[in-house]
Structures are given as C-alpha cells and as structure tokens.
Chain A
C-alpha cells in the first residue's frame, strides 16, 4: 500500500541553525501538508501546498519557514533559524482531493530536537 515517507526520523540541531525536513508524498496525490506536534500537545497545521505554491498557511508558519517541491517526488520544509520552541514532531501529509477525497495520509514524522 502506498505511504508517505519522511527523512530523517530524528534530527538534532543547535539553536540558530537551518534544518530541512524531507517528505515523499504518495505518488498520485496533488495536495501536500506539513503539521507539527509539540510533545503532549495537539497536532497543529502549518502549511498546505498545491500546484507548486502555498495554498494555505497558519499563524505558526512565519518567515522562518518555507516549503518547496524541488522535484517530482520530494516535498521539503525548511526552518531557517531554529529556536528551542521549534522542537516537535513534524508530520508531512498528502491527499488527492479528487472527487472529494479529503482524507489526508500522514507520514511517520521527523522528531526535531533543538538544543
């Protein structure tokens, strides 16, 4: 069964460093998303992406964040200058939303630890 994959599974970085989290969405999906989940808290939407541009973003997704689809398979989230409060699980998701299929399929996540 097709699935969303994410790399790395765990990333440790120092405050102020740039990180890139990578995702490979399900191949026939058209919509891509990033969410984060701080330990013990709810899953929070960051950004959605369609047709090579951002479709929607939350207040969390400020100028420190950017997303890119550098090729036909990868979808990346970049955090330019990490802060301690960026420590969280980051989930990539994809959906096709063709004929109203709004369910989203999540990857296993990348645990980001900022020290």
Chain B
C-alpha cells in the first residue's frame, strides 16, 4: 500500500496568515493527490483534486502544488471558517490511502 505522511499534525495560526500543509507519498503517484477538509461531526469535503485543481465552489484561497512525491495544500489567507482537520488522499492505486490529518486552529 502507498503510505501518505502528513505534516504537521496540528498548527495554530491567526486570521489572515498563510498556512501550508504537506503530504509525502511513499512512492510516485503522479498527480493523483486529493485534499479534503473535515469539520467536527461532518463528512470530509473535497477541496483539491489532481494535486492542483480546485473543486467547484471551493474558495480560491485554497491551492495545491507538487514537488516530486511531496504535495502541499496552501491557504493563502486563513479565515475563521477554515477551522477544521485537513486530509490528503492518494488515488493512484487501490487501496486508496489517506494521510493522518492536520488540525488547523485559529489563534
């Protein structure tokens, strides 16, 4: 199985800050990397697919990038409603696997 290692496990930032979350794949997955946002008591919500593509309806402050097997989710200007846990998921090969999550807190 492909292992997805996410960092950091949690972070605290102020409204308006730039926030970055990293996910490293244990082997090459091309651009088959998706990012999700999960708020307490809710199902995950797709934010970014194919490493770079913004899902319809998702604010443009969210973006994705890739360098080799390292993928990054960036929130350009953190908003209070971005309080959530963020997960990466590889869709290169079955079984789909997820990162451990990054909990984003607002200072």
Indicate, yes or no, whether A interacts with B. no
